[in-house]
A and B are shown apart, each in its own frame.
Chain A
């Protein structure tokens, strides 16, 4: 029973390039959440998606960042024209289809993005 799978584990991009981060939720989970973590800080919520729908994107920067969770395939967090300040660890979490209060979410191992 595989957990939440994220790839790549490490990603290096030059300033101005695009970064694509992928997340495959746990089997049976259709709720996906993306978080960003800066060094020695906690995780900051970015976006909450269900299949083909963005439910809550209140934590997403207004520009350059987008997320999707298509009917088939993994969820994608896309960062266009990356800048050095985008360097961080990006974590994906998933929860059960019938997400309700107090549903537990499980995290992947993260993607470490470094912008040079």
Chain B
């Protein structure tokens, strides 16, 4: 059984601070996705990474896929209250529809 562990589970920071969220596994994944989920809503895809060592940037968000494709990180620069939400990583080996999800990191950014 493939497992993804996310850390930290909860993170509360002040507006303007930087943060990093981690997603680790002992298994190799062909691709890894990061989602953001707000209360009462479904997950919204932020990025997909597929190549070991890949780095993708989305405005203030930087995503990295580990060289061995077992882990990933999400770094947010100058966090804003609008970044508040549940961040989920998910790995897949068949297609991205069947994915193994981590339990998420709940981020709260205080103004």
Contact = CB atoms under 8 A, between A and B. Distances in A.
A104 B96 contact: yes
B99 interface: yes
Q: Chain B: interface residue count, which band?
A: 20 to 34
Contacts of A33: 97-98
Q: Chain A: interface residue count, which band?
A: 20 to 34
Contacts, number: 82
B45 A106 contact: yes
Interface of B: 4, 6, 30-31, 33, 35, 40-45, 48, 50, 88, 90, 92-104, 106
Given A95-B97, A101-B92, 8 more contacts: A41-B103, A42-B4, A42-B103, A99-B97, A101-B94, A102-B31, A103-B95, A104-B48
